[in-house]
Amino acid sequence: MSDKHKETKPFGLYDKLGYMFGDFGNDFTFILSSTFLLKFYTDIMGVSAGIVGTMMMVARFVDAFTDVTMGQIVDRSPSGPRGKFAPWLLKISGPVALASFLMYAVWFRNMSLGFKIFWMFFTYLLWGSVFYTAVNIPYGSMASAISGEPKDRASLSNWRSIGAALASLVIGAGLPQIVYYTDAAGNMQISGTRMAVAAAACSVGAVICYFLCYFMTTERIKVDTIKGRFSLTELLKSLVQNRALIGIVVSALLMLLAQLSLSNMGSYIYPNYFGNIQAMSLVAVLGTVITLALAPFIVPLATATGKKELSIIGAIISAGALIIAYIIHTKNVWVWVALYSVSYIGMAIFMLISWAMITDVIDDTQVRTGSRSDGTIYSVYSFARKLGQAGASGLTGLFLSMIGYSTETAFDTVVVNRIYDITCLVPAISFVLLAISMVFLYPLNKKRVEENVRILKQRAGDNGK
């Protein structure tokens, strides 16, 4: 079958599955990092949580440049036979997988602390600020080129979140059973050697998923190559004036702060506070089940109520469950799992629809300015998500240091009780702020999104005459 024929075939299940595999590939390294990297360096490499958290936050300042640079590179790259965005998946899949594996270099555990900190910074920047950026920005931008229909884009957002849920199932449910063991004192500990082997397996899985995404998706919308000289001043001016982008950026930052705070603290609350790794695996399974159960209803609900409106409901549900968990301060892991699951319902609602919201922002920008900059806008959105990731890791590391967490105090009563408090409060506050930001900052309600689609279709029809 020729590439030309592939470009004209109707949007369908093949595209949805292919796009799902793209985020599956992303999250083989992303979820691995957000779930285990902090724990690996504190408990295996002997680096303080404060230093690890600081490193993750410093990396985001680097991302301020690499994300926007990659967005410009993508926007200025020409479209080839396979499209404008998909070829980047093949180019970068190997490097991003290798960089991820090198972050878990257990063979350096007996090196000096200075060398371990250097290696941690070097490999984390190489993975996250360079190669992950280089593959994730074109992948995210590709959704707007696969189809121009809002319903199709909502479906792609849905399937992307399903891919993330499946990766979370593999990593969150499967790996704890492999990388943790019970020491002589009966405490749950993480194994450095097993962690390195698990990282290698995840890297292989990431490459396979990127290849599947490349071959299964079709870019139908021709995205013009941006020409002319790049002006940072003009870019910043246009971004500051883009209320929809500001709204989704703030919301994404808060969402990632909430989501990854829960994920990061999961490596501490289950083995240290509850002493139950099985529950850690169970919540990963439940998260996937919840996501898959909600997925068929998200597009109809978003079509009926609006994406903005639906996301506000999700944030309120998540905040409420975690506030209740904080108030009761349960010692029963299954009560915690039940409240976590309710919180995850709200979180999944937002995650399932969030990727379609950024395509709405791209459309809104085109309506207002007459030009389309998919890669640049997505790069700003990606940077915001990384800020949320850094904020979660940075705050987690900071709070763990403040409560005196170390390998010696990891199971002290006072320390583990404070671990519980952090796990509840940081994401709960983030969800409250997320709901507020969607109400007051993000302007793209159902009515405006539908009007933007009508305007763009009318312009396309006029240009075709």
Judged by DSSP in three states, 180 sits in: strand
Per-residue tokens: 386: 């990384």
d(CA 263, CA 34): 7
pLDDT of residue 73: 83
Q: Are 30 and 172 in contact (CB under 8 A)?
A: no
Give tens-digit pLDDT for 237-280: 666 778 888 888 888 888 888 887 888 888 889 988 998 888 88
User: Is residue 307 included in any domain, yes or no?
Assistant: yes
User: For 386-396, what is each residue's pLDDT tens digit?
Assistant: 777 767 767 77
pLDDT band at 361; cut points 50, 70, 90: confident
Is residue 207 within 8 Å of 25, Cβ to Cβ? Answer: yes
- Residue 241 domain flag: yes
Residue 31 in tokens: 């979820």
What does each C-alpha distance from 443 to 18, 123, 242, 371 come to in angstroms?
31, 39, 10, 20
Judge whether 277 lies within some domain: yes
Q: Do 106 and 193 meet the contact criterion of CB atoms below 8 Å apart?
A: yes
Residue 6 lies in a domain: no
Q: What mean pLDDT comes out for the span 95-99? A: 95
344, 450 Cβ separation under 8 angstroms: no
Verdict on whether the full-model pTM lies above 0.75:
no
Which of 346, 331, 343, 349 shows the shortest CA–CA distance to 283?
343
The pLDDT assigned to 75 comes to 78
Residue with tokens 């993000």: 442
**Within 13 A of 281's CA, how many CA atoms are on the CB side?**
12
Provide the token pair at 397.
């590391």
Higher-pLDDT residue of 260 and 345 is: 345
338: tokens are 């039940």
Amino acid at 404: G
Say what angle helices 307-328 and 333-369 make with each other, to 10 degrees: 150
Domain residue limits at 122? 13-225+234-457
Mean pLDDT of 334-352: 92
Report the chain's mean pLDDT, rounded to a whole number. Answer: 84
Q: How far apart are CA 14 and CA 12, in angstroms?
A: 6
| 305 pLDDT higher than 70 | yes
Closest to 364 (Cα-Cα) out of 194, 223, 247: 247
Helices (H) and strands (E) in the chain — how many of each?
19, 2
Question: For helices 333-369 and 277-305, what crossing angle results, to 10°?
Answer: 40
Contact 446, 305 (CB under 8 A): yes
Structure-block tokens of residue 410: 């990891």
Q: According to the model, what pLDDT value does residue 375 have?
A: 66
CA 207 distance to own-chain centroid: 18
Give the span between the Cα atoms of 34 and 399, in whole angstroms. 16
Which residues, in sequence order, are CB contacts of 19 under 8 Å at separation 6+? Answer: 142, 143, 146, 156, 159, 160, 163, 213, 216, 217
Lowest mean pLDDT among 139-153, 381-395, 445-459: 381-395
Give me the phi and psi of 291, to 5 degrees please.
-60, -45
Let me know if residue 128 belongs to a domain.
yes
A 10 A CB-CB count for 355 gives 23
Read off the CATH number of the domain in which 218 is found.
Answer: 1.20.1250.20
Q: What is the pLDDT of residue 463?
A: 60
7 assigned to some structural domain? no
Name the residue with tokens 């599955």.
17
318 vs 61, more confident: 318
- Averaged pLDDT, 317-330: 96
Q: Count the Cβ atoms, other than its own, within 10 Å of residue 443.
A: 13
pLDDT band at 236 (very low <50, low <70, confident <90, very high): low
Structure tokens at 169: 């199932």
Check pLDDT > 70 for residue 230: no
Which pLDDT value is given to residue 408?
Answer: 83
Asked whether the beta carbons of 41 and 113 are under 8 A apart, the reply is no
For residue 384, pLDDT beyond 80: no
Please check whether residue 157 lies inside any domain of the structure: yes
- pLDDT, tens only, 16-55: 999 999 999 999 998 898 888 888 998 899 888 888 888 8
In a domain, 465, yes or no: no
The CA angle 205-211-213, to the nearest 5 degrees, is 100
CA 217, CA 20: separation in Å to the nearest integer? 10
**Structural domain count, the chain:** 1
In the block, residue with structure tokens 């609350």: 269
The tens digit of pLDDT for each residue in 165-221 reads: 888 888 877 888 888 888 777 777 888 899 999 999 999 999 999 999 999 988 877
Distance of alpha carbon 146 from its chain centroid, rounded? 21
Q: What is the DSSP string of 104-126?
A: T-GGGTTS-HHHHHHHHHHHHII
Tally the C-alpha atoms within 13 A of residue 263's C-alpha that lie toward its C-beta. 31
Residue range 364-374: mean pLDDT, rounded: 78
